[in-house]
Amino acid sequence: MKNKKNLVLGVVLALGAMFIGGAIAYKFYQGESLGIIADKSPERLVRDYSPRTGPTDPKVVLVEFLDP
């Protein structure tokens, strides 16, 4: 009975470690790819029809993302 508990505990710990490792790897690669897209072409994030006020070359740009 003790051997069975150890086996179940080992499997649960291994699955948990794999899940956590996968989540960390996914988060790392996802953030990296989004940063590359934003660095290569930041103008793709601002549409021509977006409302604008103030100077055309500000120090900071606020962009509102809206899901239709």
Please give the share of the chain, as a percent, with pLDDT higher than 70. 79
Q: Determine the average pLDDT of the residues in 6-25.
A: 94
| Alpha-carbon distance values, 55 to 5, 12, 25, 58, 61 (Å) | 67, 57, 40, 6, 10
* Of 30, 32, 57, 55, residue with least CA distance to 43: 57
Residue 32: is its pLDDT beyond 90?
A: no
pLDDT grade, residue 16 (50/70/90)?
Answer: very high
Pick from 6-10, 34-38, 58-62 the range whose average pLDDT is largest: 6-10
**Domain map (residue ranges) of the chain:** 1-68
DSSP label at residue 49 = T
Residue 29: predicted pLDDT: 75
- d(CA 42, CA 67) in angstroms, rounded, equals 19
Residue 57: predicted pLDDT: 83
